[in-house]
A and B are shown apart, each in its own frame.
Chain A
Amino acid sequence: MITIDRVTRTFDGAVRALDDVSIHVRRGEVFGVVGQSGAGKSTLLRTVNALERPDSGTVTVDGVEVTALQGRRLLEARHRIGMVFQHFNLVSNRTAVENIEFALEAVGRPRSAKRDEALEMLDLVGLAHRADAYPGELSGGQRQRVGIARALASKPDVLLSDEATSALDPDTTRQILALIRRLSRDLGLTVLLITHEMDVVKQVCDSAALLEQGRVVEQGPLLDLVRTKGSRLAHDLFPLGEAPELPGYGVLDLTFAGGEAERPTIAMLARDLGIDVSILGATIETIAGEQAGRTRLAIPGEPGVVERAARFLGEQGVGVEVVSRP
């Protein structure tokens, strides 16, 4: 649905914000781009609706090469791409419903249909009762709902989210993410979001990319990434902390994803190989609709025992990393 192909963007000759970035977002999925501030996420997102023009490379949305568009054709392409912002960017001197009407006017909806359609959008995000409130009278979460309603008023196929929950508290963040998830399913939206919070990726994303100093370090469906040995995203999604120094023990990090997360692998290890395993840490969550997580084990005894355990677990389809040997 969205194909970013070898995009490079340099600011004022010096800072390379995007360096040969290629990303593919499939139709109907929620794709998260993670990275620290200054990694180029914001610039990347803005190339998709041509708020930012790359120096080289192309961006294609639903078969239309956005990077080649100008004037009226560009406005029309933007009608198919909604965008929500970290600071909502609502017109504070106009009411919630008027802010949404603005989006409908932009696509040339007739005056008579405007109000009803705007109210419908507010209803969709659960804010119909606050239609005549000004943004200053709404809470952060409510304002972002208005922002989402405005972005979706033109019935776009794609929603871009620029740190949409970064200015919100954890509770509100969860509600807004759930709303985005629900709308993406109900409306068949393709969502491209950028965030610096791993929790956001965990909660809503099907796929993700890690951006670092303008380069894509890794990308793919979350479950595939979790299964990939040494995946930075998997480590960041399921942090186990620093490995402890344990004399006489070997330490193994296991990664589970999908079906194997539900099998009693560790119990089998203890029973079949007769090893007294200790669990040092574990984290398991539902991502992209499946169970996934990481577990850190301490294995007592000889290096040979640790190797045997690692081999056994590998045969069960679990990702294994040997952190230290006795």
Chain B
Amino acid sequence: MTDPFSENLIALLPNLRRFALSLTRRPDLADDLVQITAERAFAARGRYDPSVRLDAWLFRILRNAFIDMTRRDKVRGVSVDVYDTPEAATVDGASVTETALMLGSAQEAMARLPDEQRQVMILICVEEMSYAEAAEVLGIPTGTVMSRLSRARLAVAQMLGIK
């Protein structure tokens, strides 16, 4: 016995977790963040404005939960960069572009981006939010979103050998 709000929220759980991973880089903390987000969302559902994208609303809650988490120093100092790879991009550009950029390579390039750049990439290029929506989720100016996003795209293009 669920309602549209609950169903839509549950359908977005993988997206929320992916965004949480981009913030924490730790699966256990990402799961905690998703659960906290769901708890807060259900508690605040009366304040949800349907004219706002539900995912943007949930992502914003998740990011605030992440800030609360870092404030309590439960992330800083224990963070492990699970995606951290010391070597620079080793993808062979020619072969990748010829095979229409396999999903795996794209994800690998994404994982190698600095956290701030990966977050805007996820919100805008993967979740297809507008610059303004991403700025609202991240609590930063639109201009900052744009500068991070363009640097991220240039880096991805370089890693994957896109001219």
Are A and B associated in one complex? Answer: no
